[in-house]
Structure 1
Amino acid sequence: MRDKYPLQLTGFHFKARCHSTYGNVDVLKQAAQQEMWINPMDAERRGIKNGDRIKIYNDRGEVRINAKVTPRMMPGVVALGEGAWYAPDGNKVDHNGSINVLTSQKPSPLAKGNPQHTNLVEVQLVKKA
């Protein structure tokens, strides 16, 4: 599985929302844009620069948003703020950054909670038209 999806995706509480509450407030969406955080080494390997449109995917689904290239992320790990509202296109590709598109629906074994911190994904630069 790591060969196909080499990056661990983790979720975090996003500063502009309380889970999904306030996720539809335009002024907050403009002030704090939903981005996927990625380490510069992982970004460079994939030809990704800060602000580039990327696709994050695994066998569960696909999300397309912008990248935030930052050394604040450990190599091999990417992060996406939780709580973004699902906004799919006709192919069920989310364009709002909903981490639930990429997570399992099965509860975690020990706590029976949300499994959003244990997802494997790959990230690619979306080709410019």
Structure 2
Amino acid sequence: RGIKTGDRVLVYNQFGEVEITAYVSSKLLPGTVSIGHGEWSKFDNVRKSKLMPYGIDTAGNCNLLIGDTHLPHIVGALLTAGLVEIRKVG
């Protein structure tokens, strides 16, 4: 959808929103997204939304994109969390 490596993208779903730098690769199946563990959350207190009242996370904390139903099963890394949408920022 016109997203290329280096673009800033917003990854979001019904649980949260994170902004990350895209890295487009042929190593992933089309339509899939892989988010590295990211950093500690860094909330942008200027850009807020109804879903993220403290601000959109700009560090890429993928834990903000999973719901509470996954919490009892998290030990180390959660490999599959659910569906997300992506859009280019700017």
TM-score w.r.t. the length of structure 2 is: 0.77
SS at match of 1:68: coil
Question: Aligned residue for 2:32?
Answer: 77
SS at match of 1:96: coil
- Structure 1 residue runs of 5 or longer lacking an equivalent are 1-45
Question: Aligned residue for 2:66?
Answer: 103
Please list, as runs of the form range in 1=range in 2, the aligned pairs for 1:1-129 lying within 5 A after superposition. Answer: 46-82=1-37, 84-90=39-45, 91=48, 92-107=55-70, 112-114=72-74, 117-127=80-90
**Which contiguous aligned blocks of 4+ residues in structure 1 show a shift greater than 4 angstroms?**
none
* RMSD over aligned Cα atoms: 1.7
**Alpha-carbon distance, 1:116 to partner:** 5.4
CA distance in 2: counterparts of 1:77 and 1:118, whole angstroms: 12
Question: Aligned residue for 1:13?
Answer: none
Larger Rg: 1
Q: How many residues align?
A: 79
Compare the two structures and name the one with the higher strand fraction: 1
In the alignment, is the contact (CA less than 8 A) between 1:103 and 1:116 conserved in 2? no
TM-score w.r.t. the length of structure 1 is: 0.56
